[in-house]
A = this chain, B = another copy of it.
Amino acid sequence: MPQQRRAQATRRAITVAAAEEFDRVGYDATPLNAILRRAGATKGAFYFHFASKEALAAALVRFQRRIWARLWRGWKQRELDPLLTVVGAVNAALRIVERDVVIRAGTALACRASSYDPGSSEVQEWERQITELLRQSADVGSLRAGVDPNAAARAVQAAVVGVGRLGGQDGGPGPSERAREVWEVLLVGIASSEWLGSNSRSWWS
């Protein structure tokens, strides 16, 4: 294949190998050599694409940020009911995290207090998105009386983070299955009975 495509393939192989190692043992415990071995790449090839392991991590963080921004944009453009939008976007995100090691590793890097990219806080961005949609849900009467949309957003956020962290561990249910169980509880806690009545189970498809 032409040189440029070969270089892209190598960059991709290194990126996936790094994500797999970070996902398996953590960023700090992954030596550069383990990435090279898994990618079948030379040190020269690595440094052609990335200045350092840190630079590779920063690239993973940027990539996941683009993916999540696109995901929220896409779900909001559908102009569904705002509460259904939260549920749909979160479920879609969990399926992506379950399936795609590059995004999973990038998100894990973005969610730890990060020296690669101190400006980013993926956690804050998700809370901002969820809060905005739950405020809209309150405006259209989809929340139970007495539910503070900001507090509810933080509760949803905590549950999502927990699901992402626990899913699949110990051979238990994976993130998608856990998410269904968590929504069953959360939605009864935050949604109005009208919303629950007219959206029964439509939030899980």
Chain A contacts to B: CB under 8 angstroms: 25-29, 112-113, 121, 123-124, 127, 144, 147-148, 151-152, 154-163, 165-166, 169-170, 172-173, 178, 181-182, 184-190
Which residue of B28, B170, B178, B181 contacts A124 across the interface (Cβ within 8 Å)? Answer: B170
Q: How far is the CB of A116 from chain B (nearest CB, A)?
A: 13
Q: How far is the CB of A90 from chain B (nearest CB, A)?
A: 12
A20 to B64, CA, bound (A): 30
Q: How far is the CB of A92 from chain B (nearest CB, A)?
A: 18
Which residue of B152, B182, B187 contacts A158 across the interface (Cβ within 8 Å)? Answer: B182
Which residue of B29, B147, B169, B188 contacts A123 across the interface (Cβ within 8 Å)? Answer: B169
Query: Are A178 and B158 CB-contacts (below 8 A) given A26-B26, A185-B189?
Result: yes
Query: Are A184 and B173 CB-contacts (below 8 A) given A154-B178, A158-B178, A162-B157?
Result: no
List 7 A–B pairs whose Cβ atoms lie within 8 Å, in order of A's numbering.
Answer: A123-B166, A147-B185, A151-B184, A151-B185, A154-B166, A154-B182, A157-B162
Q: How far is the CB of A162 from chain B (nearest CB, A)?
A: 3
Which residue of B25, B154, B182 contacts A181 across the interface (Cβ within 8 Å)? Answer: B154
The reply to whether A154 and B169 form a contact with Cβ atoms under 8 Å apart is no
A69 to B77, CA, bound (A): 49
Which residue of B26, B112, B147, B162 contacts A161 across the interface (Cβ within 8 Å)? Answer: B162
A160 to B113, CA, bound (A): 20
A188 to B186, CA, bound (A): 8
The reply to whether B154 and A172 form a contact with Cβ atoms under 8 Å apart is yes
Which residue of B148, B158, B173 contacts A154 across the interface (Cβ within 8 Å)? Answer: B173
